[in-house]
Amino acid sequence: FIIDCYALRSTQFAFVENGILHQSKGDIIKHYKKNGMIPDVVASISLLDIIFPSYHFRLLSLVRILRLPYFFDSLCAHLDERGIRISLASNLLAKIVLLYMIACHEISCIWFIIHRYVERGKELTWATSDCPLGGDTGSDACLAMWSDELEQHNVCNMDSLNDCYIRAFHFSLTTLSTVGYGDISPATELETIWELCVVLVGACFLAALIGAFGA
């Protein structure tokens, strides 16, 4: 990734924009900066995980998700060259839905990080109080089970981590969409603060969606 970033920034890779061929090195650098150079550079740091194993480095690879809007623009440009027209409204809707799902995924991961790492020693969390199978809080019927002997809860009490992720995604989606079924709720001060942040993000998404289509 680092070599690729340097090559694209330092060599004469001409590109076509609005039917005009650009060969100037300055134009090429500006074009690459505008089309994902920074996400590429940050994501390349994740390769340090090979030398220094750490999930912190692996998380940086997720920055590449930010390149998806550029991918949509490139895809539309290629289809346009072949006579397949995609309306701006359809392109905008696809971008917003994609970013919405990415936001739900990232928020779900943060919910799980709070449960797994930050509040491992707390008996009452959103996961230990979420009991889709019924039962008391912190029991084996909940998303996570509290252990008095270890004085901490386990990571996931379901059949697989995928089941726990689906519940976290459900929590994020209902909050971000401002629906809020109420079956899962924050149980600590930290979780309440994060919940308020998620609600604000959801309100911004809704405002952006209405404003974009209104424009």
CB 137 within 8 A of CB 158: no
Look up residue 158 and give its two tokens: 């379901």
pLDDT band at 48 (very low <50, low <70, confident <90, very high): low
Which segment of 32-41, 76-85, 106-115, 153-162 scores lowest on mean pLDDT?
A: 32-41
Helix (H) or strand (E) holding 173, with range, is helix 161-176
| Whether this model's pTM surpasses 0.85 | no
- State pLDDT tens for residues 143-165: 888 888 888 888 888 777 888 88
Q: What are the backbone dihedrals phi and psi of residue 22, each rounded to the nearest 5 degrees, phi first?
A: -105, 120
* For range 205-212, the mean pLDDT: 78
As a whole-number percent, the residues of the chain with pLDDT over 90 amount to 11
Give the residue from 141, 117, 118 showing the smallest Cα distance to 128: 141
- Rounded (5°) CA angle 187-193-194: 90
Q: Which of 31-45, 84-98, 149-163, 184-198 has the highest mean pLDDT?
A: 184-198
DSSP 8-state secondary structure symbol assigned to residue 51: T
Distance CA 112, CA 199 (A): 17
How many CB atoms lie under 10 A from the CB of residue 171? 27
Residue 136: half-sphere exposure toward Cβ, Cα within 13 Å: 3
CB 105 within 8 A of CB 169: yes
Distance CA 170, CA 152 (A): 24
Statement: residue 33 has pLDDT above 90: no
- 11, 119, 160 from 6: Cα distances, Å: 8, 42, 42
Supply the Cα-derived Rg of the chain in whole angstroms.
Answer: 22
Distance CA 176, CA 205 (A): 8
Distance CA 98, CA 47 (A): 26
